[in-house]
Structure 1
Amino acid sequence: MEVGKVLLFLGLLLVLLGLLFLYAPKLLSWFGHLPGDIRIERDGLKVYIPIASALVLSLLLTLLWNLLTLLRR
């Protein structure tokens, strides 16, 4: 891979990460509160099992990985 392409990719990645850090709290406020996420709160006990959130995150990462491998060909 050429150095220019690597630098462009890293620059784009940094821009996307910057946008994520700026807007993620507003855009992803629903994440972690999906139907299917188990939350148990009792006296002195808090249990949180993010089943639906983990499935959504896994799906998004799988799609991203497949897109990147498709673009590398």
Structure 2
Amino acid sequence: MQQLLITLGILLLVLGLLWPWLSQLPLGRLPGDIHIERENFSFHFPLMTGLIISVVLTLILWWLRK
């Protein structure tokens, strides 16, 4: 448990340091993301972004378990 918390802390630190560059990625604006905008209504569902993040996290966790 301690190793997991330390790893997550380091990962959060690295993500925080890389945030200026990571925020430039087109995540949330990919083809396949659903965005509906009407007069008094706006709806955004990041379908493809969620799928890509899920696949990447699955591969990372699979790799860490080996």
The reply to whether TM is greater than 0.5 is: yes
- Give the aligned length: 64
Shift of 1:36: 0.7
Looking at structure 1, the residues matched to 56 and 19 of structure 2 have their Cα atoms a distance apart, in angstroms, of 15
Shift of 1:64: 1.2
Q: Whose strand fraction is larger, Structure 1's or Structure 2's?
A: 1
Looking at structure 1, the residues matched to 22 and 56 of structure 2 have their Cα atoms a distance apart, in angstroms, of 15
Aligned residue type for 1:68: L
**What percent of counterpart residues are identical?**
38
Q: 1:47 aligns with which of 43, 46, 52?
A: 43
Q: TM-score, normalised by structure 1?
A: 0.70
Structure 1 unaligned residues grouped into runs of 5+: none
Q: TM-score, normalised by structure 2?
A: 0.76
Looking at structure 2, the residues matched to 44 and 15 of structure 1 have their Cα atoms a distance apart, in angstroms, of 42
Return the structure number with greater relative CO, CA threshold 8 A, min gap 6. 2
Provide the aligned C-alpha RMSD in A.
2.2
